[in-house]
Amino acid sequence: MPTPVDPESRSPTRPGPGFRSRLAGRHNQNLWQAAFVTPFFCGLAVFVYIPIVWSAVLSLFEARNTITPTKFVGFANYGRLLNDEAFRSSVGTFIVFALFIVPLTFVCSLGLALLLNGMPRFQAFFRSAFFLPAACSYVVAAMVWRFTFFSGARFGMINSVLSGFGSQPVHWLGGENSWYWVALVTLRLWLQTGFYMILFIAGLNRIPASTYEAAALDGATGWRLTRYITIPQLKATSAAVTMLLVINAFQAFDEFYNLLGSIGSYPSHARPPLVFLYLISLGGSQLDLGVGSAGTMIVTAIIVVFGLVQNWVNHRSGAEERS
């Protein structure tokens, strides 16, 4: 038979936490989290989300020299841009630039991160040295590239080096050649590689040392260790870096404008990407913000498509690994 329990020995039933207690969380942690997150969320809403929504609305109206919609035109602004051969050529150049600069920056950043992560000495110095260009202004860097390295004059640094090998001076930023891409790509690599290198180093530091020790016991060394251990462990970091690279590639403006657009030296066979999208598509002196907003939404749609494709590839590769 069960032993009888004295009613007086029972502990009183504690009432459950009230709504305010559950809302505040243990030790008011939810309130503290909200206090830290709210200012950043407000800034993100004011400077990112609301402008995107307003651009989508403005793209359906005619708005000349004003941000206030005046006349509803539907998708006429989109049709005007998509039927413009210059705009389509500009978007094509835009996509080619992203397809080229994204994997190149990715490989250079990952390579530097792997080299520095295995460096026993002076690691902090080289991290700072490679990251320092990320703090440089794009406008200043573009002007240095334009007047110092790729000026096209005989006394330009690159032409001076080439003349030492018996080569003729190259007109880097103009003419009917495509040498201006060398200046654009090297400038972008110098400015961004160090930043993404730091992201990869952070991802490398999160890989447990026991994983490498277990792989070493199985005989994995060198490239096999990098291929089968390091790169798979960096999948989340690689996805974030790729998405940031795509967004930044489609936001390229300062280097194009300051290297080429400000002096009108674009080769006749080339179309400047964002310079055309942000300046010419606005309607020139009429400043048609409706057409400009339509161009912005087209670029946003392209970035979204790239992001969806990247997520699909990541999920598919993850499903294949789990199977």
Those residues with Cβ within 8 angstroms of residue 83's Cβ, 6 or more apart along the chain or in another chain: none
Average pLDDT over residues 246-271: 69
277: confidence class by pLDDT, cuts 50, 70, 90: low
Which of 80, 45, 47 shows the shortest CA–CA distance to 294?
80
Q: What is the pLDDT of residues 161-202, one digit of tens each?
A: 888 888 887 878 766 667 888 888 899 999 999 999 999 999
241: confidence class by pLDDT, cuts 50, 70, 90: very high
* 140 & 44 share domain: no
Q: 47 lies in which domain range?
A: 23-58
* 270 & 190 share domain: yes
Is 253 part of a structural domain of the chain? yes
| 52, 58, 212, 255, 278 from 288: Cα distances, Å | 17, 10, 58, 24, 11
Per the structure, the count of domains in the chain is 2
pTM of whole model > 0.75?
yes
Pairs from 260-267 (Cβ < 8 Å, separation ≥ 24):
260/173, 260/180, 263/173, 265/173, 265/174, 266/174, 267/174, 267/175, 267/176, 267/177, 267/178, 267/180
* 240 & 134 share domain: yes
* 41 & 180 share domain: no
Average pLDDT over residues 200-218: 85
Could you say which DSSP state residue 261 is in? G
Query: Which ranges in 220-284 belong to alpha helices (H)?
Result: 222-225, 231-233, 235-250, 254-259, 273-278
Last residue of a domain, one of 5, 33, 58: 58
Average pLDDT over residues 199-213: 88
* 149 & 167 share domain: yes
Tokens describing residue 161: 């080096």
Residues 229 and 212: their CA atoms lie apart, in Å, by: 7
Those residues with Cβ within 8 angstroms of residue 315's Cβ, 6 or more apart along the chain or in another chain: none
Sole residue written with tokens 């032409």: 159
Is 206 part of a structural domain of the chain? yes
Is 12 part of a structural domain of the chain? no
Q: Are 46 and 52 in contact (CB under 8 A)?
A: no
pLDDT of amino acid 263: 45
* 118 & 192 share domain: yes
- To which H or E segment does residue 72 belong? strand 71-72
Is 14 part of a structural domain of the chain? no
Tokens describing residue 240: 């974030």
Those residues with Cβ within 8 angstroms of residue 109's Cβ, 6 or more apart along the chain or in another chain: 192, 193, 194, 195, 196, 197, 199, 200, 241
Q: What is the dihedral of CA 224, 226, 228, 233, to 10 degrees?
A: 170
108: confidence class by pLDDT, cuts 50, 70, 90: very high
* 98 & 164 share domain: yes
Last residue of a domain, one of 33, 58, 83: 58
The CATH number given to whatever domain includes residue 101 is: 1.10.3720.10
* 145 & 115 share domain: yes
Is 156 part of a structural domain of the chain? yes
SS3 146: helix
* 163 & 33 share domain: no
- Nearest 5°: the CA angle 308, 310, 312 is 70
Neighbours of 112 (CB within 10 A): 20
